Amino acid sequence: MKRQLIAGNWKMNGSFAANEVLLRVLAAGMGGATCQVAVCVPAPYLAQVQGLVVGTGIELGAQDVSQHEAGAYTGEVSANMLRDFAARYCLVGHSERRQYHGETDAVVATKAQRALAAGITPIVCVGETLAERGAGRTEEVVKRQLAAVIHTNGHCISEIVVAYEPVWAIGTGKTASPQEAQRVHAVLRNQLRAATEQADRMLILYGGSMNAANAAQLLSQEDIDGGLVGGASLKAGDFLSIIAAAH
Ligand code: PGA
């Protein structure tokens, strides 16, 4: 059976002091974890966290990557720079990037390509807004978002991780019911099956207000292979409970 992945998304939170405490408590509490665990941290903390996770079983992730390889792109961080910090994962196309930074499906697809070329696994986020959901367009939206990444990345598509994050569930305390989430995950799995023979071993994570109380039910769904956890990943006890609920 494939191991699930629980990835924390710290977003724009943290400090040297807080990161150190959080990771020390996580490392101490990870004992019997059977799933894979990662933390996606703000770029300035990559070096610190790279050092803190050594020997803990926790893997390092970034939250974004430039669509460009190198050059005159002030403020951007390239995939090769992330590789210098031995980042294993990078979030790509998080809804906050799509919404506040105008990232299009095409930009997200190129970012995934840059990560893959640097040997970093992109965690490609897809998800519908509340309005899109209300209009019955969930399937159409997530399929369009994933199709762009499939189209640009060809046979490498089997190397990505997908995260279904309904935008209306992010940071709101509202989660998709396990059945609703499973339905969308199955749609995404079928789309991947049409693109690669490896689809059944690929990971499709759920994200959006996953917490200690709802994780077990979500993670027991057939096509839910882990979680992308925002708020609850900043509280060691909550994150450890989610890790314990995964396999
Ligand atoms: P949340 O965020 O768990 O705080 O809803 C998830 C995410 O945005 O990745």
- Tell me if 42 sits within 8 A of 10, measured CB to CB: yes
Nearest CA to ligand 1 atom 2: 230
Distance 71 CA to ligand 1 centre (A): 32
Q: What is the pLDDT of residues 166-175, one digit of tens each?
A: 999 999 988 8
pLDDT at 67 over 90: yes
In 3D space, the residue among 28, 188, 29, 42 whose CA is nearest the CA of residue 124 turns out to be: 188
Which residues does a 6 A CB cutoff place in the pocket of ligand 1?
9, 165, 170-171, 207-210, 228-232
Task: Specify the pTM.
Answer: 0.98
pLDDT at 94: 98
Q: Which of 96, 103, 165, 185 is catalytic?
A: 165
Q: Which of 94, 103, 132, 185 is catalytic?
A: 94
Fold (topology level) of 5-245: TIM Barrel (3.20.20)
Nearest-10 Cα torsion for 186, 245, 63, 116? -60
Q: In the predicted model, what is the mean pLDDT of residues 54-60? A: 97
Distance 247 CA to ligand 1 centre (A): 20
In 3D space, the residue among 219, 217, 216 whose CA is nearest the CA of residue 203 turns out to be: 219
The structural domains of the chain, with segments of one domain joined by +, span 5-245
Distance 162 CA to ligand 1 centre (A): 14
* Ligand 1 pocket test target in 10, 96, 165, 238 with most atoms within 8 Å of CB: 165
Q: In the predicted model, what is the mean pLDDT of residues 58-82? A: 98
- Tell me if 37 sits within 8 A of 59, measured CB to CB: yes
Q: What is the pLDDT of residues 107-160, one digit of tens each?
A: 999 999 999 999 999 999 999 999 999 999 999 999 999 999 999 999 999 999
pLDDT at 31: 86
Distance 205 CA to ligand 1 centre (A): 12
Atom of ligand 1 nearest to the CA of 9: 9
Rounded to whole angstroms, how far apart are CA atoms 13 and 42? 8
165 is catalytic: yes
Q: Tokens for 110?
A: 């190129």
Three-state SS annotation for the chain: CCCCEEEEECCCCCCHHHHHHHHHHHHHHCCCCCCEEEEEECHHHHHHHHHHCCCCCEEEEECCCCCCCCCCCCCCCCHHHHHHCCCCEEEECCHHHHHHCCCCHHHHHHHHHHHHHCCCEEEEEECCCHHHHHCCCHHHHHHHHHHHHHHHHHHHHHHCEEEECCHHHCCCCCCCCHHHHHHHHHHHHHHHHHHCCCHHHCCEEEECCCCCCCHHHHHCCCCCCEEEECHHHHCHHHHHHHHHHCC
pLDDT at 186 over 90: yes
